[in-house]
Structure 1
């Protein structure tokens, strides 16, 4: 079975969409978690479809040789996605295609991907999410994708949903993680830090329960840490800093004195200036976004962080 992995953002219902380069789930890019899960499930032939892949997916993943896989990249604008899927399907040799979305993670295994000839559509679905919308993963016949005539991804995903309702077999999945917006990414981060997704292997070690540290982490003796949190490689935590709960500090970041950070993600190589109180925030070297209001902080806040 071949995999088609769509990388452009899905509709977010008013939230700010994240690009692949901004979607880190705890210790590494969300996309890498998705790809590692697919490889563990036996998927070796993966085609990535989306815009800007040479700046996002390709530098991280390469040609797939290090995993013994074959990766192909089809760079296309969102308006041309359906035609690119149709063209890729016509060149595929597999009878069935696993059609998935890079901003949605499920604990897919080889057992979930087994389907008989009479199962035309197999929908991987999490009932607890409380929605009938397509959740990003389905198995479809290659011939159906070859005949795909819709012109954008919103229409395509709606069509997949209708086909699954009418002719599909539903396979229940235990959980779903979403990285399509800052809000959904932080919600997923909270769940992973609280061990809701044991299938994901994380970097670092828990020297103290709930406090996961990677290499070369420096913590001032007056700093206070409340788990669950993760501190990446080469992180520096300053005097009087309070971190946690539910927080990730990306590798190479510096948190200056007397700053408090809760339920937030600090992207790698970010310097956070002193005496800030950040709650439910997505932070990088350019800006701070508070996900509770789904908007960017004022420009004066942008200057409180910078690249390390």
Structure 2
């Protein structure tokens, strides 16, 4: 079972309470970690953008937690483990960025299905000074494919500071420990990241019902072969990104504009019609309605995430790289 599946099953959420590590049997230490597991995984996924890296980071955090001397006292397991997993992700992100620079085609995050990965604690310290509650990003927003894609443009330090402060309300001094900077430097990192996110995030609706209706209209137009209806649901400046990773056939450059995207989708439908038993279904993709298609023959499957504004689709992120879908049980769809 992956970390994602564990947290969806409800095995790792909770606010956490200060306590001693050493007192009591090893089971106490395990219980303290399990109480924070869901939150740790949520932080790791948002910093890394991949399920596999999030799983690895949480596992490494557990090993470090387990290896603490029996006599060592930790005032706040929640704070300690947040710092540990954030530092692990910060270190991993440097090498991950280097690999992503040589990636074949657009690099997109690994998608999550069926919501945002389970219930997560919203509590925490209130951000200080600039970047107050009105600037914070909700957990739902922070797991969306559109925002995760924008976060790829930040430096590892900016991304870590932004996620920890603006999403999880971690105080600047604690973030400073994770990234090896001063609190003032971290404050500047978070501010710089916030400005970039505001400037580069796509327009999007916050109305979940409107988002779903728009995706349903897209699916209806595609399946019905109605080209004019397809054009009407696409924004004039819509962007389609495909992540096949060089493993499967996919556009290696973003497709730009309503007409080009519509014709590109037509081509996908034509090729899909040649595959017997191809299944297409609506699904929750990173917290919002998206689409999943499954090829029973195992040749190619994919997950589509949509960004919607004013009843039209402004962005589509299509993940078809089989390595990025390996954690999903698509056969259940």
Q: TM-score, normalised by structure 2?
A: 0.24
Greater helix percent: which structure?
A: 2
Greater strand percent: which structure?
A: 1
Higher relative contact order (CA 8 A, sep 6+): 2
